[in-house]
């Protein structure tokens, strides 16, 4: 059960429908597949999405840090030595998604060796996750048509509206059209990816006060601390930290210094080991969390399902688990199904991240 090889395989799969948001856009899933092989032949997989506009990582930087920096230190450790692996990787700052994927691939090996689904090992709270769909920038009526289609076809009743546009009226209008068209039962929240100033966000909050939105994520740059604190104090709905809380320490700092009062948990950046610590902190602090989307493929999404369903605190809210529907193809051997607005937790031993070898051959770019 010792780690014998750590490989980082770059690949590219186009999006049928690109996603546009305040900090960037995605046209191609140019991700990196992490493959860990043990000395007794167990293979663990995970997906690392480069998000230069969020963490500074690129496809090439993920390959380089995993193969040149992490692999030499990880080879020889037991796949069960996850805290040792965390310590090894913590010597290199940032590189969140590279670290997260190595951790998930190790858990995949652990589950296979123990003959248990990883969701069971992490807590086994429930057997499914409700799905929230993320809507990128589009005219208001198109957004409503899309949301109605997702509700009709997949039973999805929670939507994240990407915002942060100028003038802010564009996003206020989109929220109003969605609320009127979807009715009061559907859950809607906003993510501005730092697109506004604190004052602009405050104006949006005033204008959407009657629309019953659940929370507002990263309205402005959290480093502008006084503006952000004023927003958090004055807002009637929670202000969620996503990219301002990319790891345990920064999540704690944002909450304890009043930069946010809710947290996005993303397995793509904190894997399973650190995500569990973020959730424990949030639970102890009385802070709500939700499982977010790193614009994940099915390989990334299944990891979010495995983790989100394992813990009571993360399974309370819908997780963002459906944006792989916008991709032209995927790598997962058993494609994910969304039924009645939910995805079932894989019951196979491991993390359920098995790869289709023919598809990997087709899309790899190394
Ligand atoms: C999100 O919640 O922000 C967009 C950029 C990123 O890093 O993740 C996505 C979704
Ligand atoms: Mg976000």
CATH of the domain at 244: 3.20.20.120
DSSP state, residue 9:
E
Q: Is the dihedral of CA 54, 58, 59, 63 positive or negative?
A: negative
Which pLDDT belongs to residue 29?
98
Pull the structure tokens for residue 165. Answer: 């546009």
Rounded Cα–Cα distance for residues 8 and 65 (Å): 9
Same domain as 130, residue 16 = no
Does any ligand 1 atom lie closer than 6 A to the CB of residue 21?
Answer: yes
Task: Among the bound ligands, name the one nearest to the CA of residue 260.
Answer: 2
The residue range of the domain holding 269 is 120-344
Residue nearest to atom 3 of ligand 1 (CA): 193
Same domain as 136, residue 98 = no
DSSP state, residue 11:
B
Of 131, 236, 143, nearest to 182 (Cα)? 143
Last residue of a domain, one of 92, 115, 138: 115
Q: How close is the Cα of 76 to the center of ligand 2, in Å?
A: 36
Place of tokens 């993510």: 191
> Collapsing DSSP states into helix, strand and coil, what is residue 92?
coil
Same domain as 268, residue 183 = yes
- Could you give phi then psi for residue 344, rounded to 5 degrees? -80, 145
Q: Helices then strands (H, E): number in the chain?
A: 15, 14
Task: Among the bound ligands, name the one nearest to the CA of residue 21.
Answer: 1
Of 302, 280, 304, nearest to 293 (Cα)? 304
Question: Does residue 108 belong to any structural domain of this protein?
Answer: yes
Same domain as 227, residue 136 = yes
Strand partners, 339: 342
Which pLDDT belongs to residue 71?
98
Same domain as 215, residue 92 = no
Residue pair 101/34 in contact by the 8 Å Cβ criterion: yes
> Collapsing DSSP states into helix, strand and coil, what is residue 190?
strand
Q: How far is the CA of 36 from the CAs of 74, 142, 365, in angstroms?
A: 10, 42, 19
pLDDT digits (tens, 9 = 90+) for 20-64: 999 999 999 999 999 999 999 999 999 999 999 999 999 999 999
CATH code where residue 58 lies = 3.30.390.10
- Provide the annotated active-site residues: 162, 191, 217, 242, 266, 294
Task: Give the count of domains, the chain.
Answer: 2
Does any ligand 1 atom lie closer than 6 A to the CB of residue 263?
Answer: no
Pull the structure tokens for residue 138. Answer: 């589009």
DSSP state, residue 65:
I
Question: Which atom of ligand 1 is nearest the CA belonging to 23?
Answer: 5
Question: Which atom of ligand 1 is nearest the CA belonging to 217?
Answer: 2
Which pLDDT belongs to residue 321?
98
Question: Does residue 361 belong to any structural domain of this protein?
Answer: no
Does any ligand 1 atom lie closer than 6 A to the CB of residue 274?
Answer: no
Does any ligand 1 atom lie closer than 6 A to the CB of residue 96?
Answer: no
Question: Which atom of ligand 1 is nearest the CA belonging to 51?
Answer: 7
Does any ligand 1 atom lie closer than 6 A to the CB of residue 293?
Answer: yes
Q: ipTM more than 0.90?
A: yes
Does any ligand 1 atom lie closer than 6 A to the CB of residue 108?
Answer: no
Rounded Cα–Cα distance for residues 305 and 314 (Å): 10
Question: Does residue 354 belong to any structural domain of this protein?
Answer: no
Q: How close is the Cα of 286 to the center of ligand 1, in Å?
A: 24
Which pLDDT belongs to residue 263?
99
- HSE, CB side, 13 Å, CA atoms: give it for residue 53: 13
Task: Among the bound ligands, name the one nearest to the CA of residue 245.
Answer: 2
Rounded Cα–Cα distance for residues 217 and 189 (Å): 8
Residues of the chain with pLDDT under 50: none
Last residue of a domain, one of 115, 142, 162: 115
Place of tokens 């190394």: 366
Question: Which atom of ligand 1 is nearest the CA belonging to 55?
Answer: 7
Secondary structure string (H, E, C) spanning 104-134: HHHHHHHHHHHCCEHHHHHCCCCCEEEEEEE
Residue pair 175/208 in contact by the 8 Å Cβ criterion: yes
Question: Does residue 338 belong to any structural domain of this protein?
Answer: yes
């Amino acid at each position: 059960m010792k780690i014998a090889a750590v490989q980082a395989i770059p690949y590219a799969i186009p999006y049928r429908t690109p996603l546009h948001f305040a900090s960037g856009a995605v046209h191609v899933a140019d991700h990196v597949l992490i493959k860990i092989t043990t000395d007794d032949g167990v293979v663990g997989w995970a997906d690392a999405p480069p998000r230069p506009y969020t963490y500074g990582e690129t496809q090439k930087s993920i390959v380089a840090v995993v193969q040149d920096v992490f692999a030499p230190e990880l080879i020889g450790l037991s796949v069960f030595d996850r805290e040792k692996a965390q310590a090894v990787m913590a010597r290199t700052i940032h590189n969140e998604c590279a670290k997260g994927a190595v951790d998930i691939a190790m858990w995949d090996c652990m589950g296979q060796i123990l003959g248990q689904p990883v969701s069971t090992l992490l807590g086994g709270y429930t057997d499914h996750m409700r799905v929230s769909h993320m809507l990128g920038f589009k005219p208001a009526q198109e957004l409503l048509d899309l949301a109605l289609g997702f509700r009709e076809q997949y039973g999805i009743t929670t939507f994240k509206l990407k915002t942060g546009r100028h003038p802010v009226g564009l996003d206020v209008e989109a929220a109003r059209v969605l609320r009127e068209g979807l009715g009061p039962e559907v859950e809607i929240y906003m993510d501005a990816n730092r697109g506004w100033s604190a004052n602009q966000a405050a104006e949006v909050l005033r204008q959407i006060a009657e629309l019953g939105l659940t929370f507002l994520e990263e309205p402005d740059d959290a480093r502008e601390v006084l503006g952000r604190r004023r927003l958090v104090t004055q807002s009637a709905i929670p202000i969620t930290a996503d990219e301002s809380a990319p790891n345990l320490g920064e999540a704690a700092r944002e909450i304890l210094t009043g930069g946010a009062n809710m947290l996005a948990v993303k397995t793509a950046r904190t894997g399973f080991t650190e995500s569990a610590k973020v959730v424990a902190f949030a639970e102890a602090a009385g802070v709500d969390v939700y499982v977010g989307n790193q614009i994940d493929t099915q390989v990334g999404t299944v990891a979010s399902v495995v983790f989100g369903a394992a813990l009571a605190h993360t399974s309370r809210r819908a997780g963002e688990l459906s944006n792989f529907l916008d991709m032209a193809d995927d790598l997962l051997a058993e494609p994910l199904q969304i039924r009645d607005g939910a995805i079932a937790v894989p019951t196979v031993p491991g993390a359920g991240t098995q790869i289709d070898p023919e598809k990997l051959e087709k899309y790899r770019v190394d």
